Each structure stands twice: as structure tokens, then as C-alpha cells.
Amino acid sequence: MTPQQCRPGRQAVTYKHDPEVTTVNDSTRPKKPNKPYPDFPLYPHNSKRWAKKINKRTHYFGPWDDWKGALERWQYENDYLQQGKTPPPRNVEALTVEDMVNGLLEHREAKVFSGELSRRTWLDYRRVGRSLIKDWGRYRTVESLTPSDFQKLREKYSKKLQLIALGDFIRRTKTFFNFAYKQGLIEHPVRFGLGFEKPSRKSIKKAKQAKPAKIFTIEELQTLYREASPQMQTFMLLALNCGFGNSDIGQLEGRHIDGQWMRSPRPKTSVERDCPLWAETKAAIEATRQTSKPDCPLVFLTKRGLSWHKDEGANPLSAEFRKLCIACGLHQKGRGFYSLRHQFRTVADGSRDRAAIDRIMGHSDDSMGAMYVEWIEPDRLQAVVDHVYQWVKPMFAESMQSEGGEK
């Protein structure tokens, strides 16, 4: 009999290193639970607790059966432990990140109901608020956040977002904390530090210059227009004639069409817009507008009778235009239907009437001089769309060309 073998009738040796840890016999060792989700930052320790090794030392955050509580404790203590500090006890009266986020969303939601804020903007704030709760934890106190925390947050999202989107994320994040201070929820303004600044205009311009242009050539538009469905042709005309974007078309109502004029406030900003319609645009609208739902104010509906507009998720109009671009071999990353709005502005600038262009596109001018302008003459607006029409005109000629025939 070897030393490793037990004598007859003798029990297996038990090694106790923790009151809750089992014997070396694998048959009696507790089965470790799986992580709640793949990116869960903690691991199941033999002591039946969720654990994490930080700075070469194992820390415990809660029992297996309370993974949410363990996660919240880790989110609160992690930054302190990373710096070698002892986490202070959580102050139940202090403002938490979750309470701050909910406070601003409730305040902004009231403005949505009163018509002072668009739901799309509110959803943007909600998306940022959810990110803050996920990254810092719902019980993390606002007063415990340091400039280092904001710098790490910026570094994380700079790897996910383009510069303009990163700037919007930073701006909205600061709005949450500024709201908390103005509402008296915290005594002092939050110090964001120099590491949480928005990208500079120079860096944005440099990044833009490194990418292909977002607009289409007239030859590409000819191809797309020829292969597009009648309804998509109408959408393209509205974008090129009036500078309409996806939401503008998806939320367009019959009351916005006034004879040969389009008079609709921009959904994003509620800025009034007036635009003369080309004959082709007017005819296309009448030929493709929905008539199956008289009680529905929307001008255009999908094949399933749904709106082309969505507040969240993939935009159906963008998806259909992408399919068209792929079918024509013209798909390019970063260039979609909204690029046609860029196209309108780029060509319209040749008319040299910025005020008229802004009126058509729904851009606001906050200068003092603009405060005194009561209206813009219709012939100035007509001159802008006529100028764009001369550039777009070859698109119609190509679309009327039959195979093997003449123009």
C-alpha cells in the first residue's frame, strides 16, 4: 500500500481553509454557477461568493445567489480598490448616478408632453443615461466621481464613437450633472477635468477630410433614380428638392403640402420651413401618397401600412435606400439616404442666399440680425430650388432613357 492510499475503513482527509469551503473530495465540492452574462466582471469563488482579483489581491463582493448586489458593490468599490484605497461606506442619502439620470429624464419627459422637446432628443438622453448607469453602477454616488473617472469614460467611448458622436455623448453627460447642480441635488458643481473635453473642431475637420465625400455624383444619382421604386424616387426628390431627411419624410403629413409649396416644421427642432416644389416632386407625391388609411395623417406608409419613421432602432427608409445602393453597386460606408440632404445644401450654396437656404432646410439663425427678419421673399426661395434643379436635371433625362432607345 502506497502512502497515497487510505487504510481500510479510514475516511478521506479533509482540509479546511475556510468555514464554508468543502473537502478536497470533488464529489462534495459545490457546483459553481455560470456567469449571468458573458462580460460579467466577477468570477465564482470556492467560498460561494463572487470575487475579483484587483492589484494581486482577491476581493469578495457578495454571495452567488445575489449576483446583482455583488455587481453593484463591485461597481461602487472598484475605483477605490484600483487606487489602493479603502472604499468608504455608501451614503444612502447621497445622490446616486441612477437617481440623477432618472431625475433628468423625468424633467425632460414633461417637456416632451408639452411639446417643448422632441421624443427623439429624449431618447438620446435616455441612451446616454443608461450608459452612465452601466459603466458606473446605479449606486455609485455622484460626489465620489473624480476627473479620472470622466477621463476613463471618454477613453472608452472614443474607441466606439466617431468624433461628432463622441462630442454629443460628452455634452449630454455633462447635462446630467449640470442638471443635478441646478436642481440643488448636489451642493457643488462637478469637476469634469481636462480629460473630458469635447473633440476640437480641428480634429473633427481632419477626420472628415480623411474620409470619402458623403455626397453622390450626378451619374450615381441617375443610376439610383432609374433603379428605384416609385416611392423611393419620391423620397429622393423630396431630399434633393427640399433638403428632407429620413424623419422629415417619415413624419410628413398631408396638411404640410400647400399647393406647389411644402410648409412643414422640422421635426427635430420645430423650426418652420417653406419650400417651392418642382413639378416632378409634386407629381411624384400625388402618385405615391398613401390612400388606404384615410384616418392616418401621414403621406407615406410602408407596404405593411406602417410609418417610415422610427424613434429608436434601424430606420426603415435608410435600410431600403441601402438595399438600393447595394443593388446598384454604389454602397459606401457612411453614405446613405441622409447624404442627399448634404447634397442639397452643397449644391444650394451656389445660389449664394444663405438665409433662403436655411429657411428651406429648417436651420435656425440665432444671430441678432436674424431676430429682425420677419419673412423671406418667395422668389428668393424659388431661386434656390431652381439653382439645385439645374444640377439635378440630368437625373431625370437619364431616367427617361429606354434601353436601346433615344433620350
Give the tens place of pLDDT for each residue, 324-347. 999 999 999 889 999 999 999 999
What pLDDT, on the 0 to 100 scale, is given for residue 6?
43
d(CA 355, CA 362): 10
Opening angle at CA 340, ends 258 and 230, nearest 5: 65
When pLDDT is averaged across residues 291-307 and rounded to a whole number, the result is: 87
Identify whether the C-beta of residue 347 lies closer than 8 Å to the C-beta of residue 386. no
**Helices 316-327 and 218-227, axial angle in degrees (round to 10):** 100
Sign of the Cα torsion 364, 366, 367, 371 reads: positive
169 confidence band (pLDDT: 50, 70, 90): very high
Phi and psi dihedrals of 210, rounded to 5?
-80, -10
Q: Tell me if residue 44 falls in helix, strand or coil.
A: strand
Q: Is the pLDDT of residue 403 over 50?
A: no
- 321 by Cβ neighbours in 10 Å (0-12 / 13-18 / 19+) ranks as buried
Q: Is the pLDDT of residue 399 over 80?
A: no
Q: Is the pLDDT of residue 82 over 90?
A: no
Phi and psi dihedrals of 279, rounded to 5?
-60, -40
Q: Is the pLDDT of residue 29 over 50?
A: yes
Q: Is the pLDDT of residue 395 over 70?
A: yes
When pLDDT is averaged across residues 271-279 and rounded to a whole number, the result is: 92
What domains can be seen in the chain, in order of their start residue? 26-82 (no CATH), 97-209 (1.10.150), 218-399 (1.10.443.10)
92 confidence band (pLDDT: 50, 70, 90): low
400 confidence band (pLDDT: 50, 70, 90): very low
Q: Lowest mean pLDDT: which of 10-24, 81-95, 184-198, 374-388?
A: 10-24
**Helices 230-242 and 378-399, axial angle in degrees (round to 10):** 140
**Mean pLDDT rounded to a whole number for the chain:** 86
Of 324, 312, 236, the C-alpha closest to 278 is: 236
d(CA 69, CA 57): 21
When pLDDT is averaged across residues 90-113 and rounded to a whole number, the result is: 90
Q: Is the pLDDT of residue 14 over 60?
A: no
